[in-house]
Amino acid sequence: MDRETMLQEAAEFIQERDDFLLLTHVQPDGDAYGSTLGMAHLLQTLGKRYTIANEDPVVDKFRFLPMSEKFQLSSEITRSFSHVIALDCGDIRRLGESAALLADEAEILNIDHHKTNDLFGRANLVDLEAAATSQIVFTLAKHLELDLNIGGAICLYTGILTDTGGFRYSNTTVEVHQIVAGLLDVGINPFEISDRVLESLTWNQVQLIREALGSLQRDESGKVAWLSVSRPLLNRLGASDEDAEGLVSYARNVQGVEVGILFREKEDGSIKVSLRSKYRVDVGEIALSFGGGGHARAAGCTMPGPAEQVQLQVLTKVREAIVS
């Protein structure tokens, strides 16, 4: 389906309904928060009612986002919803526990940019070319002929900024810059946002970088590098799962490396695998084959431990992809 048709279907989905539940993926990143709150600003402008839920509380770093206080814990919501907007989720499993809030016949509008998106919505606004789901929400606002207020612009800018790695990743296109120019026009302060979301590290994060770099290894070819973060390490430092965000780039950024990997032990002993590639390897396909998903250059999956076995499985698959 072409973009205009998808935009029109999404616009009608919103215009013809009210009382929406806005959901994004578990352990939200900047684009998850930004696109969800950007959509909340649009619904507010349209005079529609909405509820925002996630299984996790909003992390400190993103509490500056206007209306972030509207996020509710899904475990504390006692009703169900018939109209759902899912943002930045490639498949329904990414909703985690929040999926329990869907009524039996719930209609879903799926707004996303993941290569592995399985079109789980009643309406699907899925654009694999978009750098961020926040970019798609901007395009939808234009399609609805809505003016963005400053709050909405801050949220969408944050999503685009984080998913493009500060306009450095290969998903940074002419259109991204054009949209961002439109967001700056609304009057946001881009320095303040990048300072908060890209340039600030908590003390725990720096301690974790120091320790995690001790685990950095690469294979004989020099094309694959990886880091491991164990639960005892996180516990010792008092670091959270979010503190490990961004570590994978140390593996990917090593000269000559095509695929960088982070293996992080979760509380339940399962292993979260983050994959990043530079030019060639489709890590989205690799993550998908292990039950996860993502994009061609950034993807992830969660696998049952033990860590050594997960490392072996993932490294074997990655090496196969590199030689093929």
Q: Nearer Cβ to ligand AMP, position 223 or 272?
A: 272
CB of 280 to ligand AMP, least distance (A): 18
CB of 88 to ligand AMP, least distance (A): 7
Binding site residues, ligand AMP, CB under 6 A: 25, 90, 94, 274, 292-295, 298-302
Could you tell me if 313 and 286 are in contact, meaning their C-beta atoms sit under 8 angstroms apart? no
175 contact partners, CB below 8 Å, separation of at least 6: 135
Decide which of ligand AMP, Mn ion, none touches 301; Cβ closer than 5 to 8 Å per partner kind.
ligand AMP
DSSP class per residue in 143-166: HTTPPP-HHHHHHHHHHHHHHTTT
Cα distance between residue 30 and residue 234, in whole Å: 22
Q: Nearer Cβ to ligand AMP, position 112 or 154?
A: 112
Decide which of ligand AMP, Mn ion, none touches 295; Cβ closer than 5 to 8 Å per partner kind.
ligand AMP
Binding characters for Mn ion, 93-132, by CB under 5 A (x = yes): ----------------------------------------
CB of 189 to ligand AMP, least distance (A): 26
Q: Which of 6, 31, 117, 263 binds Mn ion (CB under 5 A)?
A: 31
Per CB under 5 A, 163 contacts Mn ion: yes
Decide which of ligand AMP, Mn ion, none touches 148; Cβ closer than 5 to 8 Å per partner kind.
none
Cα distance between residue 111 and residue 93, in whole Å: 15
Could you tell me if 108 and 122 are in contact, meaning their C-beta atoms sit under 8 angstroms apart? yes
Cα distance between residue 215 and residue 277, in whole Å: 19
Q: Give burial (CB, 10 Å; 0-12/13-18/19+) of 198.
A: middle
Helix (H) or strand (E) holding 300: strand 298-303
Binding site for Mn ion (CB under 5 A): 29, 31-32, 88, 133, 163
